[in-house]
Chain A
């Protein structure tokens, strides 16, 4: 199978560049994994990261910290202005609380001393922590004003006792899984970037060689029939797509190995197979359009990065503007990412639940068909142009 072998040879030559992209994918997934929050089912309070810079220590302040520890993780940061600013900008902490000296004394004397806070303005976390601080101090005030003679440690204990009574929270459906357990969808999302790039690059590089006029003419007079050439050509490309798919999916599954047992895994795998189909269609299309090696890498990079950005591979779709998403919906990556999100949300495998994902799958299939047809049309026109020369 000379044509088949030639294709593999061309691919082999481009292996170093492609392996860089595989490397990028593995690294992104790895870092995401190490950053994933612990797995959890059911409800739990959000814990936001805060820093406390205390200039005094007292039982009252310790009580405040204890009470906040339910809703906050205490992060140590330096007390310099630039350190505080950095921590806030990168959202290392969402709230910096400074406790001035003399606070406890003035508080117990019935005054209203203030704690100074530095926050990301208007943020959820500042609202959340404020509520909890005010609640602790206002409850303490109730005790202090009602029973001025109560010793501070008893007062603090009583306040903490009251505050430890949690409101009962029930879950609507208990099967939903969060945190680390919900990471599979993201590993599969990141796969889109590498997959699309590698497929476009690999397929269009092969096509570039075959579309070269002299080689085309040489091939046309070879003793192998055109249909055989085509067959071997597509076979090689399919093999390439399949191998890349296997590698990428295995990496994704390896990263998400903790949730392998979920039946949703099969849907993720199927979705990525659909994406493979579309991406290779795009590869054929671009391969038929571009003229030089350099152009391939330019187009592959811009197209891949551009679609990944607006489709929510890097930035979650919920954070994207409506207009951007509408634009993105003209690209298959958007539907791939959307399907992943839908799959992650499946809790019971009833027909109505699967219906939404099914539609998204169909849209992707439509894209794949469209790109293949486009590729063929462009390819045919090119061929006819060559024949006329």
Chain B
């Protein structure tokens, strides 16, 4: 019996184009959009030489020498042009430069907005002005200190030393893709909706027919659901392969566990769909709509549309992060990539398994022993 139901179910499902679209083509399309649009995000916050204009109203060779040396070399701080005030203001207006540095008796700056570039320029000018202040304060107290000062000024000391924490790249776009995989896994819920609709006699004609057949209802349900699961899991593997080998998304090297995570994800998706479908008596459109809505909300909170969301939720509403299967699943991929230990990974997987157990149990409670004298 298993073979019969399983194989025919498989054939039916393979012909369901809209299902294949939602569970495979749509995630692939989204992943491609992500790849196209998120490239710049990697660059965001990365330091690049700041464009500044210097307007030299009074000659200050010392300052200009410093500016010159900071604007050259391998990793320059500034990208400097020297112009007169009118030209400089035009550049600033067009946002071609971050700031105008005005060299007068004192050094000042003009900006058009606040931002990192502007603040770094200001920190640099503060540094220049404050050091001069400090020197005059010290000389006022101890006029004989000029030698020690000259020494110190010649050799600035670097007190901070970088201690890298991970070899993995801090690529913030990875989380977008992980959330996307989680979303695709939960879209497996469409199969769940379909399966319940095909077994509950009051939901479809097909189900009414199946119910009069001399097959145990739960067995029939399990058999056909395994066909759904097989398709869902295979689609997810295709999707993972697409991400890994076509879009070059990095997953780390623990392939076995990535497959396990994907397996659990498919399970949660399928059982969630079955649960929604069993719980609601409304037509399939509404069920699908609700499933999409839930998944999309979850995906949003897990940072799929807006990366910061994940940590906002994680830090401000941790309970939401724990109750959101999309977040748990994407976090599982994230922990596999970044952490050497398995504490956080196992936490995620355990909660996900609890979720799918609850969904399965609830579905079972709802659909068991429903008999209809007439429909």
A145-B123 in contact given A123-B45, A301-B26 (Cβ < 8 Å): no
- Distance, CA A217 to CA B127, complexed state (A): 81
- List, in ascending order, chain B residues with CB within 8 A of A141's CB: 152, 157
B130 and A170: CB pair below 8 A? no
Contact between chains at A92 and B36 (CB < 8 Å) = no
B30–A305 touching, CB < 8 Å? yes
Taking a contact as CB atoms under 8 Å apart, the answer to whether B138 and A147 are in contact is yes
Q: Are A315 and B38 in contact (CB under 8 A)?
A: yes
Of B39, B119, B300, which one neighbours A46 at CB under 8 angstroms? B119
- The answer, yes or no, to whether B134 is at the interface (CB within 8 Å) is yes
Query: In the complex the two chains form, is A315's CB within 8 Å of B37's CB?
Result: yes
**Are A139 and B130 interface neighbours, CB within 8 A?**
yes
1/0 per residue, CB under 8 A from A, across B20-53: the answer is: 0110001001100110111111011111000000
Q: With A20-B293, A45-B119, A145-B151 known to touch, is A320 a contact of B160 (CB < 8 Å)? A: no
B201 to chain A, nearest CB (A): 24
CB pair A145–B162 under 8 Å, yes or no, is no
Report the separation of the CA atoms of residues A77 and B206 in the bound assembly, to the nearest whole angstrom. 56
Task: Evaluate whether A16 and B151 lie within 8 angstroms (CB atoms) in the complex, with A90-B311, A115-B161, A172-B89 already known.
Answer: no
In the bound complex, residues from chain B placing their C-beta under 8 Å from that of A222 are none
Q: How distant is B24 from chain A, measured CB to nearest CB, in Å?
A: 12
In contact, B118 and A43 (Cβ under 8 angstroms):
yes
Complex Cα–Cα for A19 and B110 (A): 48
Residues of A near B164 (CB, < 8 A) are 118, 121
Whether A16 and B38, one on each chain, are in contact in the complex, defined by CB atoms closer than 8 angstroms, is no
B158 contacts chain A at the CB level, 8 A cutoff: yes
Q: Is B96 an interface residue (CB 8 A)?
A: no
Q: Which residues of A contact B40 (CB under 8 A)?
A: 315, 318-321
A121–B165 alpha-carbon span in the complex (Å): 10
Measured between C-beta atoms, what is the minimum distance from B45 to chain A in Å?
5
Given A120-B45, A127-B120: A146 and B130 interface contact (C-beta under 8 Å): no
Q: Could you say which of B112, B131, B159, B170 has the most chain A C-beta atoms within 10 Å of its C-beta?
A: B159
Contact B134 A167 (CB under 8 A): no
Looking at chain B's contact residues, the main secondary structure is: helix
Kindly state whether residue A69 has any CB partner on chain B within 8 Å: no
- Tally of A-B residue pairs with Cβ under 8 A? 270
- Is the Cβ of A178 less than 8 Å from the Cβ of B114? yes
Whether A270 is near chain B, meaning CB under 8 Å from some CB there, is: no
- Interface: A250 (CB within 8 A): no
How far, in whole Å, are A161 and B152 apart by their CA atoms in the complex? 19
In the complex, residue of chain A having the shortest beta-carbon distance to the beta carbon of B157: A112
Q: Is A133 an interface residue (CB 8 A)?
A: yes
B67 within 8 A of A: no
Contact B111 A306 (CB under 8 A): no
Instruction: Determine whether the beta carbon of B138 is less than 8 Å from that of A125.
Output: no
- Report B's interface with A, CB cutoff 8 A: 18, 21-22, 26, 29-30, 33-34, 36-41, 43-47, 89, 92-93, 106-120, 122-127, 129-131, 133-135, 137-138, 141-142, 145, 148-149, 151-153, 156-166, 170, 172, 175, 285-286, 289-290, 292-293, 296-297, 300, 305-312, 314-315, 338-339, 341, 343-344
9 A-B pairs in the complex with CB atoms less than 8 angstroms apart: A28-B306, A131-B120, A132-B123, A133-B159, A134-B158, A142-B138, A171-B111, A305-B30, A314-B305
Known: A124-B45, A139-B130, A166-B126. 18 other contacts (CB 8 A): A24-B300, A81-B165, A82-B339, A82-B341, A85-B165, A90-B172, A90-B308, A115-B159, A118-B164, A131-B123, A134-B157, A135-B130, A141-B157, A162-B137, A169-B118, A293-B285, A306-B33, A309-B33
| Chain A interface residues toward B at CB < 8 A | 16-17, 20, 23-24, 27-28, 31, 35, 40, 43-46, 48, 71, 81-82, 84-86, 88-92, 94, 97-98, 112-128, 130-135, 137-139, 141-143, 145-147, 158-159, 161-163, 165-173, 176, 178, 292-295, 298, 301-302, 305-306, 309-310, 314-315, 318-321, 324, 327
Q: Which 8 A-B pairs have the closest CB atoms?
A: A319-B40, A146-B145, A90-B311, A294-B18, A20-B293, A17-B289, A46-B119, A167-B125
